[in-house]
Structure 1
Amino acid sequence: MMSRHHKGVLGFSILYTVLFVFDGVRWLSFLIPSAIASYLVYVVLALYGFFLFKDRLIQQWNEIRKTKRKFFFEVLKGWLLLFLITILFALLSEILKQVLGLSGQGQNEASIQSAFKEHPLLIAVFACVIGPVVEEVFFRQIFLKYLRKYLSSWLSIFIVGLAFALTHMHSLDLSEWINAIYYLGGGLAFSIIYVKEKENIYYPLVVHMIVNSLSFIILAISSIQ
């Protein structure tokens, strides 16, 4: 019989899949404004994830407190790994765009910029803090951890990285597939960090928060000019 915790994990996974993979947030827009629906969903899932893995999160946090210096340097190394991988995949994406005669930014970037213009502080909090929490709980703490029980680590990392990239697509247009290559790099890097640090979610989570925060700082500066 399935335990209470496993039921909770299954419930979180189903909610995330329905809301973000099958665009369930759009369904909620029939009841409440789409912007409010998106923010509400992220808050609910973040709280759900916290209470679902509360004991593990507290244990891992206590481990980090004992090795603060190690945590700092490993996060820095993780960010450098992410930087190098995303640069490589971004370059590959741009080369493919030029070969195929495509131009313009992805729909995900466009929607973030649009939301930032309307609610800069709110979207920054959600994209830099709450969003990474929800994504890391689903992709690393649940999905990657589960796959590694049955598949090799590298195959699991690739599958999760690919899933991470695909969930950042907003349509099946060729341009969206090409733009997803950039997110594939990020998904691979976060998963590598998670595995390397013995499945301690705080390492990829903090790196995820840092890179999103840097992106929003650049976005904020560019919007002023």
Structure 2
Amino acid sequence: MAIGLLVALSTLFSIAAAVIAAATALSRGEALDPDGLVQSLAQPDGLVMIWVTLLATGGTALVVYALRGRATPDERRRSRQVLSRPSTWGWMVLVGLATLAASTAIAWLGRHLGSEPVPSNQAIIQGAFEQSPLFMYVFAALLAPAYEELLFRRVLFGRLWRAGRPWLGMVLSSAAFALIHELPGLSANSWPATVQLWMTYGFMGAAFAWVYRRTGSLWAAIGAHALNNAIACLLLVLGYA
């Protein structure tokens, strides 16, 4: 269901973005360029791609959550109680920093083995940051962690957790998290470099699932994810890609 919705919404919003771009050009009295329209549909610029990602993935997360993983009033009450504990915030910060440290360690090891992969979304993110840095920081540090944790941890991991198979849920949801961030064939990375990126994203997914289960609150996973992304974006802006 999630894959089908993601593909459908991505296609829909990509077409909508191309139509809006064409309508904007016509309203300015510019001649419509069919080749340019096809190009904008096939390869939208960074900021447009971020909006398509936000609407498509966020929409998928909300729909699947509503149909397959909606929290009960009792679950929401327990989650609020958990957030009042200092230990929850401690785990949140610890896991957020641990995922960043693990990513750095995997990158360091990869460099020493002759592998320096470039994430397929890095150029898009850097281009979008140049166009709208404030929006991109909000997107990367707040919006993306919220909808990704809702989809991958609450719905995918949570389904198997509630069925009594949390470790299987952790493995499968982390694998899905890694694949959606780095699909093979979409970049010039070699297979070893792609596997290195999968290890990075897979560890992140497993860590966020672990803190969700450890604390009992999805907000802990969202917070850890947000902290990781906020620091990573700051390093990206400072030139430490």
Give CA deviations for 1:170-197 in whole Å, capped at 9, x if unaligned: 4334223322211111101000011112
- Matching residue's letter, 1:44: G
Q: Which moved more, 1:74-83 or 1:25-34?
A: 25-34
1:87 matches 2:87: no
Q: For residue 77 of structure 1, what is the aligned residue in structure 2?
A: 91
> With structure 2 as the length reference, what TM-score do the two structures score?
0.68
1:209 matches 2:209: no
Specify every segment of 5 or more residues in structure 2 that has no aligned partner in the other structure, as ranges: 19-43
Q: For residue 197 of structure 1, what is the aligned residue in structure 2?
A: 215
Q: Percent identity?
A: 21
Q: For residue 139 of structure 1, what is the aligned residue in structure 2?
A: 152
**Residue pairs, 1:10-89, within 5 angstroms:** 10=1, 14-16=4-6, 18=7, 25=10, 28-33=13-18, 34=44, 35=48, 36-42=51-57, 44-45=59-60, 48=63, 56=71, 59-66=74-81, 68-70=83-85, 72-88=86-102
Q: Which structure has the bigger radius of gyration?
A: 2
Match for 1:161 among 155, 174, 182?
174
- Matching residue's letter, 1:153: P
Q: For residue 199 of structure 2, what is the aligned residue in structure 1?
A: 181
- Call closer, same or farther: CA 1:131–1:59 in 2, change over 3 Å: farther
Q: For residue 235 of structure 2, what is the aligned residue in structure 1?
A: 218
- Alpha-carbon RMSD: 3.2
Does the 8 Å contact 2:92/2:211 carry over to 1?
Answer: yes
Q: Structure 2: how far apart are the matches of 1:218 and 1:102?
A: 20
Give CA deviations for 1:9-42 in whole Å, capped at 9, x if unaligned: x5x56423x36xxxx6256424424414334335
- Matching residue's letter, 2:143: I
- Matching residue's letter, 2:88: E
- Call closer, same or farther: CA 1:51–1:107 in 2, change over 3 Å: same
In structure 1, the residue corresponding to 2:176 is in which secondary structure?
Answer: helix
Does the 8 Å contact 1:42/1:130 carry over to 2?
Answer: no
Give CA deviations for 1:58-88 in whole Å, capped at 9, x if unaligned: 6555445445541x43132233134335523
- Call closer, same or farther: CA 1:207–1:134 in 2, change over 3 Å: same
Give CA deviations for 1:126-164 in whole Å, capped at 9, x if unaligned: 222221121111111111112235563223212211221
Specify every segment of 5 or more residues in structure 1 that has no aligned partner in the other structure, as ranges: 1-9
Aligned residues: 204
- Matching residue's letter, 2:206: L
